[in-house]
Amino acid sequence: MGSRPDMTPNPRSWRAAAFLTLLTLVSISPPATAQELEPRTYANTAVGINLIGAAAGFSRGNVLLDPSLPIGDVDGNVAYGAVQYLRSFGLLARSAKLKVMVPFTGGDWAGRFEDAPARRKASGFGDARLTLEWTFFGAPAMSAAELREYKQKMIVGGSIRLIAPTGDYDETKLINLGSNRWSYRLEVGASRALGAWSIEGMGAVWTFGNNDEFFNGNHLKQDELWVLMTHLVYSFRPGFWLGASIGYGNGGRTTVNGVPRDNKQENWRIGVKLAYPFNRQHGMSLVIGSGFNQGAGADFDTIALAYRFAWGRM
């Protein structure tokens, strides 16, 4: 903090900085969406590294913290932050990462539910997230010294994400900061490096638990949501890169008290992320994104800034 950026072209420091900025510590999506655009998720990383990160962002538009809510004509202004811890390790001789993230959100929302106005202004903690990522092809578990000699070609990996109902929830309110249910995401993805460029593609499915305390004792159920994402990344030099992303989601229709609602989601997300390392341990990233829909779901603009600090076997 306060020290000058380390611009010395030392291979060891630049490889450590590259590792630092390969990791997306905080989702570049606001807390509402399932299309969490995360470039370089399956890039290889050295084992034995710890990272802690913090992010802050702002979203405006049709953005809800729980995308299953059967609310229409939403207009929201949402400020959100998150703290995340990450640990890299080897799993069956392959590179793996474990992430724990806790969000905090504040905002005001206005919309309509069954032709009645719905409004809420609130702030507090959102639902915590636990993610395990594993690159099972093309990314062996390596030390930082071994990673300096590594040249990426094709990498294939997968992840599982669990969202726990830890956020603030009041069943007498239609709009809440927590979802009061468990959610799971299974994802597979691949990354191919072509010189300074890399292209990535991912496919995922979200599965949602039921909420038996939805708005004064109603029962809410949601279908699976299927998501496709792709990222194009250009590396100016190790650790300093720019990524462009696009995601598409389809499904997620909700049922309230056994009655299906006309709110099947068909959403698009686009985003741009710039990552820059200050030195071996410190780095920042800037994200700008938008979401729009052809059915129900999020339609918004967002901007976020993240900082991260790394330590361990660097």
pLDDT in tens, 243-259: 999 999 999 898 999 99
Structural domains counted in the chain? 1
Print the domain residue range for 123: 11-312
* Pairing relationship of beta strands 225-237 and 240-251 according to DSSP bridges: antiparallel
Report yes or no: 311 and 282 within 8 Å, Cβ to Cβ: no
Q: Decide if 4 is inside a domain.
A: no
DSSP states of 31-90 as a string?
Answer: TT-S----TTTTS--BSSEEEEEEEEEEEEEE--SSTT---EEEEEEEEEEEEEEEEEEE
Half-sphere exposure of 306 (CA within 13 A, CB side): 31
pLDDT of residue 244: 96
Q: Decide if 6 is inside a domain.
A: no
Beta bridge partners of 251: 225, 265
Q: Decide if 1 is inside a domain.
A: no
Report yes or no: 204 and 185 within 8 Å, Cβ to Cβ: yes
Q: Decide if 2 is inside a domain.
A: no
pLDDT tens digits for 191-208?
999 999 999 999 999 999
Q: Decide if 215 is inside a domain.
A: yes
Q: Decide if 304 is inside a domain.
A: yes
pLDDT band at 294 (very low <50, low <70, confident <90, very high): low
CATH code assigned at 62: 2.40.128.130
Q: Decide if 301 is inside a domain.
A: yes
Q: Which residues contact 233 (CB under 8 A, 6 or more apart)?
A: 39, 40, 197, 198, 199, 200, 241, 242, 243, 244
Look at the pTM and tell me if it is higher than 0.95: no
What is the C-alpha separation between 55 and 285, in angstroms, rounded?
Answer: 9
Report yes or no: 70 and 256 within 8 Å, Cβ to Cβ: yes
Strand order in the sheet with 211-214: 211-214, 218-222, 254-256, 259-260
pLDDT tens digits for 82-119?
999 999 999 999 999 999 999 999 989 887 766 667 78
In the chain, DSSP finds a helix count (H) and a strand count (E) of: 2, 17
The structure tokens listed for 265 are 């989601």
Q: Decide if 196 is inside a domain.
A: yes
